Amino acid sequence: MEIVTFKLALILYFAATIVGLIEIFKESKGLSRLILILAACGFVLHTLNIIIRYLAAGYLPITGMHQATSFFAWCIIVIFFIFAYRYKIGIIGAFILPIVFLLMLSSSTFPREIIPLPPVLQSYWFDIHIVLAFIGNAAFAIASGIGVMYLLQEHYLKRKRLSGLFQRLPNLQILDEINYRLITLGFPLLTLAIITGALWAESAWGAYWRWDPKEVWSLITWIIYALVLHLRITKGWRGKKAAIISIIGFLSILFTFFGVNLLLNSLHSFN
């Protein structure tokens, strides 16, 4: 049942991604609704998969690359639905669902067996730390998608191509506002994730900070988004600059999650 729900969710996210790519090149309100329907069905099965793994393991399934990547994708879908409902922007799914699908596809390549929770992870600080980190990173993931939308819209505006996709994308001001709201949502969550991670590290290894690669790259990511907010307030950095840094910040998140775990020796190799 666990494998079936995961594969069905993956298929539905893939279908939503394909429909989203079609929507970019072909205008149709029906396609936007279909993306939401496919994503919602995938989300239900995805949620069921997480519940099944939780019941089987007896702990929140956020350890191991398979579970962590799947949970990351699930958090993105949650934030996506909230902002899609808030701003009524149907085409946003065309830029967010590919991220979800690729994360789920990556998750499917990692070992999926359920193993007993190591003693070092048996701490409530660990669960709080991971959940905060993933929700914050999910907000940043969607901000990167909004950043891509902003750059496309600005490109069409400069080239005076005021038809097709240009008419279906929100105006630059709205995209910049959404980007800012997502970063102001993700930044405090990332900050709390780093703080609770330090508290967990102290209980697990006797030190709040060990300059572990995951800690260092988390700090780099934090600095990137702190820079976005600081320059927006002090220098008025908005629009294109904010969009570009949002994309760079998400690339940093992806390296922190995948690069550190797969390429570097880290105390955090279990997630």
Give the structural domain span for 72: 1-113
Q: Is 62 helix (H, G, I), strand (E, B) or coil?
A: coil
Tens digits of per-residue pLDDT, 40-49?
A: 999 999 999 9
Asked whether residue 271 falls in the same domain as residue 207, the answer is: yes
Asked whether residue 59 falls in the same domain as residue 81, the answer is: yes
Asked whether residue 180 falls in the same domain as residue 96, the answer is: no
pLDDT at residue 39, as a whole number? 94
Number of domain units in the chain: 2
8 A C-beta contact, residue 161 and residue 78: no
Name the one residue in this structure whose structure tokens are 């939780």. Answer: 54
Last residue in a domain, options 113, 142, 174 = 113
Pull the structure tokens for residue 186. 């993700």
- Comparing 189 with 85, the larger pLDDT belongs to 189
CA distances from 210 to 131, 174, 197 (A): 21, 41, 11
pLDDT at residue 190, as a whole number? 93
| Mean pLDDT, residues 191-216 taken together | 80
Tens digits of per-residue pLDDT, 144-186?
A: 999 998 998 888 887 776 666 767 788 888 889 999 999 999 9
- Classify the C-alpha dihedral 84-88-91-95 as positive or negative: negative
Asked whether residue 21 falls in the same domain as residue 60, the answer is: yes
